[in-house]
Amino acid sequence: MAKVLLEMKSITKTFPGVKALDNVNLRVEEGEIHALVGENGAGKSTLMNVLSGIYPFGTYEGDIVYDGEVCEFHKIKDSEKKGIVIIHQELALIPYMTIGENMFLGNEQGKKYNIDWNKTYAEADKYLAMVGLTESSKTLIKDIGTGKQQLVEIAKALAKHAKLLILDEPTSSLNETDSRALLDLMKKLKSEGMTMIIISHKLNEVSYVADHITVVRDGSTIETLDAKTDDISEARIIKGMVGREITDRFPKRHDCEIGDVMMEVKNWTVFHPEFSERKVVDDVSINVRKGEVVGIYGLMGAGRTELAMSIFGRSYGIGISGSLILKGEELTLKNPRQAIKAGIAYVTEDRKGNGLVLSNSIKVNTSLANLDALSSGSFIDKDKEYLVAEEYVQKLKTKTPSVEQLVGNLSGGNQQKVLLAKWMFADPDVLILDEPTRGIDVGAKYEIYCIINDLAKAGKSVIMISSELPEVIGMSDRIYIMNQAKIVGEMKASDATQENIMACIVKSGSEA
Amino acid sequence: MEGNKVVNFLRKYMMLIATVVVILVFYFLTGGKSLLPQNINNVISQNAYVFVLGTGMLLCILTGGNIDLSVGSVVCLAGGVGAIILEKNLPWPIAVVAMLVMGLLVGLWHGFWIAYVKVPPFIATLVGMLAFRGLANIIMGGYAYQVSDPAYLSIFGGGDNCYVPDFLAGIGPATEFNKTCMVMAVLIAAGYAVFTFINRTRLIKKGYKVDSLVSQIIKTVLIVAVVIWIGYKLANYKGIPTVLIWIALVLGVFAYITTKTTLGRNLYAVGGNAKATRLSGIDTRKVMFSAYTLMGVLSGFAGVLNIARLMGSQPTYGLGYEMDAIAACFIGGASAYGGTGSIGGVIIGAALMGIINQGMVIANTPPNYQTVVKGIVLVLAVFFDVIMQMRRKGSKKKNANAVENGGAKA
């Protein structure tokens, strides 16, 4: 048996209110490619952040044994010194710097006050050759494609004398050819003795490169499969990923009548605002009825948020084409204001970035999208505003000392309720909820589900975007499945199982 | 928790405490001269422009730490236009309207570039700073103009007779003491106290949360005392300077706009999180446009006050005013990233700057040292703000946990 390079023992990491990792164990042998798979939010990235020192020693429980010794990493530099280098999902390269400058950023060659540029570029060229790039290291990052940028990231890691390389979703932004090139590079590095951990959603890639596959689910390691001895077919891995039992996690909707079609989107196509040839939504047609909850399932980057935001007054994307029919009437919505007026609300997945003004109170956030209802002319009726905020705090059971509390002081679940309150107060007919339970604990999730049910009962149409399979199946009446910018399947919730939804995605992925 | 209370108290009233300390320091340094009635009167009149421009600057800063560098030049330009009109012996209201329109046009110009073309505010207003200064020079032909219309001067706070007349002089014993001024101060103080407590009972009746009675009383008593004290001092000099009425009017109107109107709310929201605001259906461009337009109008108005006080206009007037206005906002606790700040803060910031300026002049500090001291005051103010923020973040985490835990128990 090969030497064990890394062993993470009984790692437990808690965030306020959430246990992100619960007694996780991971063994990585020297010179292997070890894959870490699991649903979004299962805890893969958290585990890697613990390993690389982003969550410093002392903020978690358990031991990291690396190269035979117990390690205490207080910051990223500590783990990098030992040769553990992580390459994050989002590229961390600066577009207007050269490849060489990027590669040695924070690790400059020569002296601090006298950078040796000749050495920098010579070294950079050497590492570029190792990853099979022929570009000069003096090329600006913005001038090479994403596939090559990813390779530069790896070269950068090699320049740090990496012994253990962690790649978080390295192919998520790459096309098929670039992905294959990257995976082959990984195999080549392995043959030269490098140890790697790859986190990926793309199970065909995992089966292609991995020697061992560890499945993470709900913050725990479920099993480790050996490529030589175990069955590592995609179906087998999926079973491990989604195998949790669905009990009573979702409240039932009773006496909820599904009525006529409320909103319909036909042949909707959207292009990326920066890379204007790239279609982020491709010929999508969906509809939602009165009193219905429609789920849109897809992995991150499938185009779900882009679809939702482009419907919501073209707040994302360019070159939008297709028709939007609301209550039987075809509409052109130019901005969020018109969308809100027409009766559409979009509850963002990014509540801190796009949803709430953290430096303002619950009261002010609740009224933000519908201040007109509270003011005559442009003068705000502050008494009414207070009462409205109070009303929603009670209705949604938001835990707070008062409505004057700053939203930044609330926990994630309570922030989500304030965000919902804001859009419920805007009184829309169609609510698009984007990942409404992301990053909140199980109890608060249940309460959010109850709110969704109440909305449907009140005759609202709800579109729920989610990357959690059980949630989509448990909450929806009907499910659309989205992958690579297209709707690749539609099914009644009663017919849906986790396996056949996943199969839908895998099938469409292999066709592409 | 006790420690938290102290930190919160300090954070909230830090600049107020600093102001009191500064007043006391200068009182002793100048042997009591700094608090003579005439000097109190001067602090108000000399710093009128800081209050007015600081108010406008606050609107810009609220939208995300954006500043307007052009205000000094605009004050000069508007003032120049006004002075030329007054020199031609046209009625003064025409001059006032012309100056305000001049400011408005500049504001629209900046608003257009910043909000709709998306030129960074720093650059757009830097252009304004250069161009409008030049334009002022062109209009005035490099000459100084005199303003001598007595009605104009007395209404906008220039010359010897720029005080509210003493209507009550005939009542009681004839003295130098300005009775109108004293009566007004007492009325305002009493009105404030009564309003505070009526409002308080109204809030309690509706079941809203209010400050504790003790802290409310202390706060009210302090404010009443300060108003009466200033009134007494002014009454011992020549009475209420007319410019004080204008300052109060501007501050009052904009305190109302920032706290009670949708425009005000939108200014804070854009500065707090522009993306979330846009996705809430608010036209963020319009908000930016309004902020710079109002800043322009206020610059025009500062021009009105400026040529009255200086009894004329010169091409160099208004130099460096933008920095005084920006400093007043930051000293008053506005965030350099936008989203927080208040008119109350501007009042304290402007007053503190004015008191320090005046104190140093009376204490015969060489002018070069004076600017150094002003710089140090600014950096200290921001420094205290930053450490208080950090403290608060520390306690915020605890709070969030407490809310979470409390919820779990419930």
- For the stretch A422-454, pLDDT in tens is 999 999 999 999 999 876 766 678 888 999 999
Examine the pLDDT at A4 and tell me if it is beyond 80. yes
Question: What is the predicted pLDDT for the residue at A510?
Answer: 65
**CA dist A308 → A283, A293, A502, B56 (Å):** 14, 15, 22, 38
Examine the pLDDT at B247 and tell me if it is beyond 50. yes
Examine the pLDDT at A198 and tell me if it is beyond 60. yes
Question: What is the predicted pLDDT for the residue at B396?
Answer: 44
Examine the pLDDT at B86 and tell me if it is beyond 60. yes
Examine the pLDDT at B52 and tell me if it is beyond 80. yes
Question: What is the predicted pLDDT for the residue at A40?
Answer: 63
Question: What is the predicted pLDDT for the residue at B400?
Answer: 42
Reported as a single tens digit per residue, the pLDDT across A137-168 is 888 888 888 788 888 989 988 988 889 999 98
For residue A319, being part of any structural domain is answered with: yes
pLDDT range class, residue A253, cuts 50, 70, 90: confident
User: Pick the residue with more confidence: A354 or A88?
Assistant: A354
User: Pick the residue with more confidence: B92 or B158?
Assistant: B92
Tell me the three-class secondary structure of A55-88, residue by residue.
Answer: CCCCCCEEEEEECCEEECCCCHHHHHHCCEEEEC
Q: Which of A174-178, A308-312, A413-417 has the lowest mean pLDDT?
A: A174-178
Pairing of strands A114-115, A110-111: antiparallel
How far, in Å, CA of B112 to CA of B34, rounded? Answer: 45
Whether residues B268 and A346 touch (CB distance < 8 A) is answered with: no
Examine the pLDDT at A504 and tell me if it is beyond 60. yes
pLDDT range class, residue A325, cuts 50, 70, 90: very high
Examine the pLDDT at A235 and tell me if it is beyond 80. no
- Winning range, highest mean pLDDT, from A202-206, A295-299, B229-233: B229-233
Average pLDDT estimate for A481-497? 90
For all residues of chain B together, what is the average pLDDT?
Answer: 88
Examine the pLDDT at A50 and tell me if it is beyond 50. yes
Question: What is the predicted pLDDT for the residue at A16?
Answer: 67
How far is the alpha carbon of B374 from chain A, nearest alpha carbon, in Å? 29
Which residues 425-464 of A have a C-beta within 8 angstroms of B? 426, 443
Question: What is the predicted pLDDT for the residue at B404?
Answer: 39
Contacts of B273 in chain A (CB under 8 A): 353-354, 356-359
Q: Which of A251-255, B75-79, B90-94, B131-135 has the lowest mean pLDDT?
A: A251-255
How far, in Å, CA of A330 to CA of A320, rounded? Answer: 15
Q: Is A40 on the interface with B (CB under 8 A)?
A: no
Examine the pLDDT at B392 and tell me if it is beyond 90. no
Question: What is the predicted pLDDT for the residue at B401?
Answer: 42
Examine the pLDDT at B370 and tell me if it is beyond 60. yes
For residue A381, being part of any structural domain is answered with: no
Residues 6+ positions from A328 with CB-CB distance below 8 Å: none
**Looking at the partner chain, which of B276, B340, B406 has a beta carbon nearest the beta carbon of A399?**
B406
Which helix (H) or strand (E) covers residue B401, if one does? Answer: helix B367-409
For residue A512, being part of any structural domain is answered with: yes
Pairing of strands A375-376, A329-331: unpaired
Question: What is the predicted pLDDT for the residue at A18?
Answer: 66
Reported as a single tens digit per residue, the pLDDT across B265-304 is 899 999 988 888 888 888 999 999 999 999 999 999 999 9
Average pLDDT estimate for B77-96? 95
Which residues 363-422 of A have a C-beta within 8 angstroms of B? 364, 368-369, 371-372, 375, 378-380, 382-383, 386, 399-402, 404, 408-411, 414, 422
Examine the pLDDT at A374 and tell me if it is beyond 60. yes
Whether residues B209 and A404 touch (CB distance < 8 A) is answered with: yes
For residue A384, being part of any structural domain is answered with: no
For residue A488, being part of any structural domain is answered with: yes
Question: What is the predicted pLDDT for the residue at B405?
Answer: 38
Question: What is the predicted pLDDT for the residue at A441?
Answer: 65
Reported as a single tens digit per residue, the pLDDT across B297-354 is 999 999 999 999 999 999 999 998 999 999 999 988 888 888 888 999 999 999 998 9
Category of B164 on φ-ψ map: left (φ > 0), alpha (ψ -120 to 50) or beta: beta
Written as one letter, the residue type at A171 is T
CATH number of the domain enclosing A268: 3.40.50.300
Whether residues A360 and B272 touch (CB distance < 8 A) is answered with: yes
pLDDT range class, residue A464, cuts 50, 70, 90: very high
Average pLDDT estimate for A408-417? 85
Best B61, B280, B335, B392 residue to mutate vs chain A (most A CBs within 10 Å): B280
Reported as a single tens digit per residue, the pLDDT across B73-84 is 999 999 999 999
For residue A271, being part of any structural domain is answered with: yes
Whether residues B273 and A340 touch (CB distance < 8 A) is answered with: no
How far, in Å, CA of A160 to CA of A171, rounded? Answer: 22
Cross-strand bridge partners of residue A15: A18
Our measurement of the distance from residue A468's CA atom to the centroid of its chain's CA atoms, rounded to an integer in Å, reads 11
- Written as six digits, the tokens of B393 are 């973040």
pLDDT range class, residue B399, cuts 50, 70, 90: very low
Question: What is the predicted pLDDT for the residue at A299?
Answer: 77
Examine the pLDDT at B39 and tell me if it is beyond 50. yes
End-to-end CA distance of chain A: 39
User: Pick the residue with more confidence: B6 or B138?
Assistant: B138
**Looking at the partner chain, which of A356, A400, A404 has a beta carbon nearest the beta carbon of B403?**
A400
User: Pick the residue with more confidence: B119 or B219?
Assistant: B119
Domains of chain A: total: 1
| pTM > 0.80: yes or no | no
Question: What is the predicted pLDDT for the residue at B166?
Answer: 84
For residue A230, being part of any structural domain is answered with: no
Contacts of B277 in chain A (CB under 8 A): 357, 368
How far, in Å, CA of B231 to CA of B189, rounded? Answer: 10
Whether residues B262 and A364 touch (CB distance < 8 A) is answered with: no
This complex has an ipTM of: 0.71
Question: What is the predicted pLDDT for the residue at B389?
Answer: 66
Residue of B nearest to A382 (CA): B260
Range of the domain at A501: 249-343+430-438+461-512
How far is the alpha carbon of B376 from chain A, nearest alpha carbon, in Å? 28
**Looking at the partner chain, which of B278, B283, B403 has a beta carbon nearest the beta carbon of A411?**
B403
pLDDT range class, residue A17, cuts 50, 70, 90: low
**CA dist B96 → A102, B50, B84, B85 (Å):** 58, 19, 12, 9
Any idea which residue has 């003068």 for tokens?
Answer: A379
B interface residues, A as partner, C-beta within 8 Å: 206, 208-209, 260-263, 265, 268-269, 272-273, 275-283, 335, 339-340, 396, 399-401, 403-404, 406-408, 410
Examine the pLDDT at A260 and tell me if it is beyond 70. yes
- Written as six digits, the tokens of B311 are 């009894």
For residue A307, being part of any structural domain is answered with: yes
Question: What is the predicted pLDDT for the residue at A390?
Answer: 92
Examine the pLDDT at B125 and tell me if it is beyond 50. yes
Q: What share of chain A is helix, strand, coil (3-state, %, to 5)?
A: 35, 30, 35
pLDDT range class, residue B71, cuts 50, 70, 90: very high
Examine the pLDDT at B406 and tell me if it is beyond 60. no
